[in-house]
Structures are given as C-alpha cells and as structure tokens.
Structure 1
Amino acid sequence: MSGFEHHSTEREARSDLPGRDRRPDEGQRQDMLRRYLGAVAAVSAAHADEQSPRPKEPPPILHQDELAPAPLRVRDVMSVPAVSVPGETPFLEIVRTLSREHLGAVPVVDADDQVMGVVSESDLLAKAAVRAETSRPGPIRRLREHRLYEKSHGETAATLMTSPAITVHPSTPVADAAWLAARSRLKRMPVVDHRGRLVGVVSRIDLVRALVRDDAKIREEIETRIIRHVFLLDPGAFEVTVENGAVDVSGKVDGSLIPTLLESIEEIDDVVEVSDHLTAV
C-alpha cells in the first residue's frame, strides 16, 4: 500500500469517528482502527514483496511442531445469512430494507442468487435528490454529472446499483480481504461461492476483530506461551496488564533473563509497546 493510499484510508477511518458526542470507548476504537491499518499495510507490503523477482529456494522442511497455524479465512468471520434484495426491488422498498436492517448497502441478486451489484445509501441519495428537485438542472451540470443523473432515474435495485460488485470468496484469507476492503474503501463486501452466488457478507469490523486480537488474548499468550512454556517460569510471580496493545509487566526475575523476556513480548503480534517494571534478583 502506497503512502498516499495509507493516508487516504486512515483519513477515512478518522472520518468514521465524529468529533462531537465522543463515546467513552472512542480512544480504544481509534486505536483498533490504527492497528487494523497497520496490519493491512503489512499485507500490502507482503504482496509487493511476492511480486519482486528473487532466486528460487527449496522449501524448508518443517517438523510438525513447527507448522504455523492455518490463517483465518473469510468463512471464519463472515455473517450468514446475508441480507440482499432482488434486482426488481423498487426504490422505496430498498430504503425500507436498509433502514430496517441498519445497513448502508446491500447486495443485489438475480433469480439464481448470483450477485449482480450492490445498492448503497449513496445510490439512493442521488435518486432522492432528483425526486426532491423543483427545477431542472442546467446543461453544464447535467453534463458534469451525466452518469449520476442517468442512474438516479432508475426505479429498481438493478437500475440503481453499482456494478460489478467487489466480492470475496469464503476461502479468501482474512488479511487479503482486509487489504481489498481498505483499497476499495468498502465497509461491507458480499461473499460468493465459485458460481458467484451469495453465501454471506463480511464487514470491516469483522476484519478488524479477526486481525487485531483483544487485550485478554495478548495477555494469555504472554503468561502461557512466553512466561510458562518458553522461560519455564511461574506466571503467578508476574503481573501482566494489557491495554489497547500496550503491555506493562512487573515481577521479580533473574536479571539475565529480563532482556530476552522483554524482547519475546515485544515480538508478539498486536503488541504496540512494552513497559518494563521487572525487578532483577
């Protein structure tokens, strides 16, 4: 992801967080989105690295206990069933569906449940604006906004929708879906099978939750994997707190172990910083 794309995506994330009526958990939510953007940027860098020419190397031979866990797939985090509307759905019924389901967009499907496109609040807003106009726009405005005016005269989901829809498959890795959502600035994406039929929907918050582990899971990994299994120490002798990815660790430990213990904690995914309050004995 280029610097411009990263800046644009981060700016959109901030625009989703209104400055007024600030929620008590707003700071945590902003931090979650920043960590999400960092994960997306890392995936984008990996994509670019994969496309760079490099000498072929034989694949490493891994033992069973060295095998990495399978990456999360869209099927693991998508919502089912997905709300959708048929192509012949009238304008007002689409409005009612979005309002009733508290959605900003829905997939439009044909008789075989194949996704034809997506109709969003933006598509409906243009239609509503044309309906509310009391005078015809001038020729310059009609020329400048030709496509918008053409679409706004539609009466059904099929004529109002944006097509083709950007979709993902159930087997798509979550990281790749997040990268696609960020680049396309989408909050929701239809999930389709190999025939293009709608099987679910995945939202940006679904991807955030999958990519960014919560503080409790980070703490569990520190206490179980790092302290107990790697360093063979008693987790009860330490106090570990995690807040928005920031770790604070205290306790008494052999001074020679402190540097490597802190380094191991810093290398855990989603840890943003480590505060050292360990006492050497």
Structure 2
Amino acid sequence: MRHYLVVSDVMTKDVVTVTEDTPFKTVAGLLAEHHISAMPVRDAYGRVTGVVSESDLLRKEAKQRPGRLHRTARAKADAVTAGQLMTSPAVTIEGGCTLDEAARLMAARGITRLVVMDGAELVGIVSRSDLLSAYVASDQEILARVHRDVVDRHLWDDPQAVEVAVQEGVVTLTGQVERRSTVAFATTLVEGVDGVVAVHNKLTWRLDDTARTPGGIFY
C-alpha cells in the first residue's frame, strides 16, 4: 500500500484551459476570474500544446516601456491570441510521480508549475504551492508516517528500540540499533517522508559493520 504523496494527491484537478485561438483579453479575463496564474492551451484536436501565464501577458506591458526586447519577448508582446502568447511545449509530468520528482523538474526547467498528464489526457496542473502543502502536515501526522513508513517497515530488527520525536517538522531519532549501517539508512528513509523538514539522528549501534578487517574486507 502506498503511503507517500504523489503529484495526483496535491494537484488541481479542475483545470481551466483555453484554445490556441482564444483572444488576449479573454485569456486575461479568465486568469482574473478564476484567480489563477496560468492555463494549459489546447489545439483544435484538444491536445495540450503549451501554457499561457500572467508573465506571458505582461510582455505587452514591457513593450510600452523604453528599451529593446529580445525577439521572443517581442513576439509575445505583439501577440493577440493564446497560441501566440503561450510557452510551448508544455512541461508535463505524470500524476504518479513523487513530489520530489516534480520539485526537481520545476527547478531544472526554471518554472513554477507543471501540466499533469495521464498518457495523452490532461488530468491536472501542479504548482510550487501545491508541493508545499506536504509541509502543512501536523507533527502528529509526520510522527505516524515515520513510524509506519520507516520504523515499522524497515527497522524490523527491533523497532521498539527506536524512539521518534517530531517538533515543527524536525524529526529526532534516539535509541540503539544493531548495526551502524542502519543509522545512515534510517536518516535517508526519514528524509524521504512527506512533511519532514530535517532529521536529527542520535541513534547509536552495537556492531560497526562499516569497519574494514585487516584484509580490507567489510564485515
């Protein structure tokens, strides 16, 4: 059973879209009416071909100011339809991807939202603020996730030997485990739990299985 959050858990599912021939003023009106900052753009066949955002529309404002515009910016400033305004192609992601994967894709592409697809079907849109919703979880919720997803599932040797405390999203692990390698493993696993801000690992160990023998072999 899946316990971690994925894109489909936090995305906006009721997506407002426009077509490539939607006029500039209609695009601006829809953004204002629905209190959104961007919309996917579809072609005549319903396929998503791009995204039009507030920043695309504001290119026209920049046109009225002194100074030269880059050719792409100039084209957007002269645009009169969504198809001319949009950024294309749309950067997409599948709904089953993790929030970490979505965040890394946004950072790599320098964007603030992704179009969510299920194959060729548009199913949602996810923004940076949507991804941050994972951190709204209470300390009690995070504590339950750490026990369920890490302690009970992976520290099976003696889960009762590990104590977990959570304050403001920061997880502290105390207790003693059998092997030293488990300590670093536990940190990695807890860092991957949705809502965790940081991990303070104070676990100790009985056996140092990371040490080398005289022959250079780990035991």
TM-score (norm 2): 0.66
1:98 partner letter: L
- Preserved CA contact (<8 Å) 2:12 2:126: yes
Equivalent in 154, 177, 180 of residue 260 of structure 1 = 177
Q: Is the 8 A contact 1:86 1:108 kept in 2?
A: yes
Partner of residue 46, structure 2: 113
Matched, 1:186 2:111: yes
* Residue among 63, 67, 78 paired with 2:11: 78
Stretches of structure 1 that go unaligned for 5 or more consecutive residues are 1-67, 250-257, 277-281
CA distance 1:157–1:147, change in 2 (3 Å): same
**Structure 2: distance between partners of 1:193 and 1:199:** 6
Between 170-179 and 94-103, the greater mean CA deviation after superposition = 170-179
How large is the Cα RMSD of the aligned pairs? 3.8
1:113 and 1:198 in contact (8 A); partners too: no
Cα 1:274–1:71 change in 2 (3 A) is closer
Distance in 2 separating the partners of 1:209 and 1:266: 22
1:242 aligns with 2:167: yes
In proportion to residue count, which structure has more strand?
Answer: 2
SS of alignment partner, residue 202 of structure 1: strand
Q: Is the 8 A contact 2:165 2:171 kept in 1?
A: no
| C-alpha contact (below 8 Å) 1:242/1:248 kept by paired residues | no
Distance 1:203 1:155, change over 3 A: same
Percent identity at matched positions? 33
CA contact (8 A) 1:218 1:242 kept: no
Flag the structure with higher helix content: 1
Contact 1:219–1:242 at 8 Å: present in 2 too? no
Letter in 2 for 1:127: K
Q: Structure 1 residue 274 and structure 2 residue 206: aligned?
A: no
Unpaired segments of 5 or more residues in structure 2?
203-219
Q: SS of the counterpart of 1:247?
A: strand
- Contact conserved, 2:112 with 2:127, CA < 8 A, in 1? yes
Task: Give the equivalent residue in structure 1 for 2:83.
Answer: 158
Instruction: Report the count of equivalent residues.
Output: 190
Matched residue, 1:206: 130
Contact 1:222–1:265 (CA<8 Å) still a contact in 2?
A: no
The C-alpha deviation readout for 1:25-51, integer Å capped at 9, x for no partner, is xxxxxxxxxxxxxxxxxxxxxxxxxxx
